Amino acid sequence: MKIIFFINIDFISRAFDALEELKYMKKTPSLLNFKLPINDDFESCLCALYILEGSRHGALVIQKKIKEYMPSNHQFYFFKTDINTFMKQWSFIVNAIESSNEDSQNQEKFINTVNLIYTSIQRFYDEYSTISTN
């Protein structure tokens, strides 16, 4: 899935890459339904992008360290994107957040929405961890 926003944010879903990573590790993916409790508007999408790409930004740092311990032929499917392309996309997101949060009311809404998404994801992981420990 590919989504292009009108402010030059090009977001490409990493779902297929995650599936390839699971297959490579000989893990069977489980199908779980998950819906974020946010509005279908630009601000909510921006919050979701901030979380998704920000988490990926942190994961790139972790991956750099993990590479030291993995065999040289190991492929990390989830991180195929070139770092320069990623940093360019991340700067678009940061600029969009800054321009949409010029007044304190928008900034507060952004922070609350990000917190709501994080809380929902935490609940999802908690529920998943209780059903996947067989």
Q: What is the pLDDT of residues 48-91, one digit of tens each?
A: 888 877 777 777 777 778 888 888 888 776 666 677 777 787 88
Q: What is the pLDDT of residues 9-58, one digit of tens each?
A: 555 666 677 777 788 888 877 766 777 777 778 888 888 888 877 777 77
Dist CA 112 CA 88 (whole Å): 26
pLDDT at position 88: 81
Q: Which helix (H) or strand (E) holds 11?
A: strand 10-12
| CA dihedral sign, ordered 110, 49, 63, 84 | negative
The structure's pTM equals: 0.60
| CA dihedral sign, ordered 25, 30, 33, 37 | negative
pLDDT at position 66: 81
* CB 42 within 8 Å of CB 4: no
